[in-house]
Structure 1
Amino acid sequence: MNRTHARITASVYSSHVPAIGAALDLGKSGNEYWAPLFKGYDRSRQWMKENRPDVIFLVYNDHATAFDLNFIPTFAIGCAAEFQPADEGWGARPVPKVVGHPELASHIAQSVIQQDFDLTIVNKMDVDHGLTVPLSLMCGQPDAWPCPVIPFAVNVVQYPVPSGQRCFQLGQAIRRAIESYDQPLNVQIWGTGGMSHQLQGPRAGLINSEFDNAFLDQLISDPAAQARVPHIDYVREAGSEGIELVMWLIARGAMADVAGGPAPRLVHRFYHVPASNTAVGHMILEEQ
């Protein structure tokens, strides 16, 4: 490993249910309903303190705050110096602003676009619960987030959405981009969203624990096979919003074993239902 260049040291996967953020912000994390969920992240918060990265590359989806139906980028990278928490209709969350890393973000954009992935470069946007809830789950309620964060927004809201295979290949391109950056940065890549849930229609409230746990198994053991699963299978088995799981494939595609290196070490795996009528999944994979 070239220690003069940036490297990915771990990938983190987590749901980003908005009610989780509300429970934390309103002091309800210890009540009977929410306590089991937050307890499942206790080990992760300790791991985060012990393995603080220099930068987090955080893959998430915007929920019609930074983007709306007038403008829908498939993949958008935040290159700004900072990003404010978004007002999603009930005021912005009382969380710190997100400090970006414009130099690394711009380098990744340059490299990934030259690898034939079309990214939208965003120099100003607010970030919603898709990004801030995973940070809260992993970092608690600090006065400032522990490191800069590069937001990477994926359209999984308005069809057509990118395939799992495309996301997996994009993760590989992002790894190559990060490893070509000539500063010795410790980078974590996070994939967020999911797991099984549907917010509307006759199947509203759908939770498919069997599918969710099979997805986690396959994501660990055979991510290339998981990448070949067509999007309609996610919708059928995990609900209309279950398609968010393709974002986890971006993070998984960025791990060393996909490029022929050693398999990552599973640090922690957690699954819980329900959390506001959805399933919550979480996992940490550490590079060997």
Structure 2
Amino acid sequence: MARITASVYTSHVPAIGAALDLGKDKEPYWQPVFAGYEYSKQWMKDNKPDVIFLVYNDHATAFSLDMIPTFAIGTAPQFPVADEGWGPRPVPPVIGHPELAAHIAQSVIQQDFDLTIVNKMPVDHGLTVPLSLMCGQPPADAFQWPCPVIPFAVNVVQYPVPSGQRCFQLGQAIRKAVESYDQDLNVHIWGTGGMSHQLQGPRAGLINREWDNAWLDQMIADPAACAQVPHIDYVREAGSEGIELVMWLIARGAMADVTGGKPPAVKHRFYHVPASNTAVGHLIMENT
């Protein structure tokens, strides 16, 4: 059967992608950010998955205010890199895994989670920046990233957005779906977005180091309690865009300890501010 062996969590700041694309990753401002992912790139080489199930949010590229799915799974064989207003990032298109994606959709919907099935979808920085951070920056004319990716878009842009508890439970359903797939696949699940940041209004530029790290501590040690954090706490403590952290709870809910397995091993933890007025958080956990 297929199995989820690890979860990865990372911010997906668009300026990180721009810094990589423009060759600015060695500049003094950006160097500390990218240094935090050196371990991660080697870890990816040493623990290469067959498929990545990547949870992210679309930033009004694939979806607009005309249609806002709460949860959308990409089932296409390939996903083009989105043009977010200044041209697509110079990275390869994303190769999907339609068979596993369709199986997950079938299983999760039968577990009473309503998913939107998407057969054509451009993917933006929310998905490509995590790939660049974890896999390095491949040339745009490369055939593909190191492995297929299943995009899973979550609406954390336009209210109402899903609760942390709903996301945590969805992660458990995804794990059950993966484990019922009849091919021997090593699957990683990634939760992206966050940490504390606010992009507009009187509190623009808000960063809350203490809250971010306390939230990380709880997500690692007591994810069920972390899933109970209400929306207002994210907005108050982590800024309006801090709500993106509920996507990390999908990945955390898919780990084995949540359903009685052993606690996961924390392989890497990193936190840094600022990165374009955003707190960057990163974590790698392995099932044991």
TM range (shorter): over 0.9
Q: Describe the superposition over 1:166-218 as per-residue Cα deviations: whole angstroms up to 9, x where unpaired.
A: 00000000000000000000000000000000000000000000010011101
Is the aligned partner of 1:64 residue 2:64?
Answer: no
Which residue in the other structure is 2:11 paired with? 15
Three-state SS of the structure 2 residue aligned to 1:29 is coil
Alignment of 1:1-288 (within 5 A): 5-142=1-138, 143=142, 144-288=144-288
Q: CA RMSD in A?
A: 0.4
Displacement of 1:122: 0.1
Aligned residue type for 1:183: Q
SS of aligned partner of 1:16: coil
Query: Per-residue displacement from partner, 1:56-96 (whole Å, max 9, x unpaired)?
Result: 00000000000000000000000000000000000000001
Q: Which amino acid counterpart does residue 38 of structure 2 have in structure 1? A: D
- Distance in 2 (alpha carbons) for counterparts of 1:24 and 1:35: 11
Amino acid at match of 1:70: D
CA distance in 2 between partners of 1:61 and 1:267 (Å): 25
1:272 partner amino acid: H
SS at match of 2:39: helix
C-alpha displacement of 1:280: 0.2
The letter of the residue matching 1:48 is M
- The DSSP-based 3-state class of the residue aligned with 1:158 is coil
For 2:276 and 2:11, the matched residues in 1 are separated by: 12
- Structure 1 residue ranges without an equivalent (≥5): none
Using the alignment, how far apart are the partners of 1:232 and 1:73 within structure 2?
A: 22
1:141 is displaced (CA, Å) by: 1.2
Number of residues paired by the alignment?
284
Q: Within 2, Cα distance between the matches of 1:266 and 1:228?
A: 22
Aligned mates of 1:279, 1:40 — CA distance in 2: 13
Q: CA deviation at 1:101?
A: 0.1
Identity %: 82
- TM superposition shift of 1:233: 0.5
Query: In 2, distance between residues paired with 1:57 and 1:151?
Result: 6
**3-state secondary structure, aligned to 2:4:** strand
SS of residue matched to 1:283: strand
Cα distance in 2 for residues equivalent to 1:9 and 1:138: 16
Aligned equivalents of 1:96, 1:139: Cα separation in 2 = 12
1-structure distance, mates of 2:245, 2:33:
19
TM, length-normalised to structure 1:
0.98
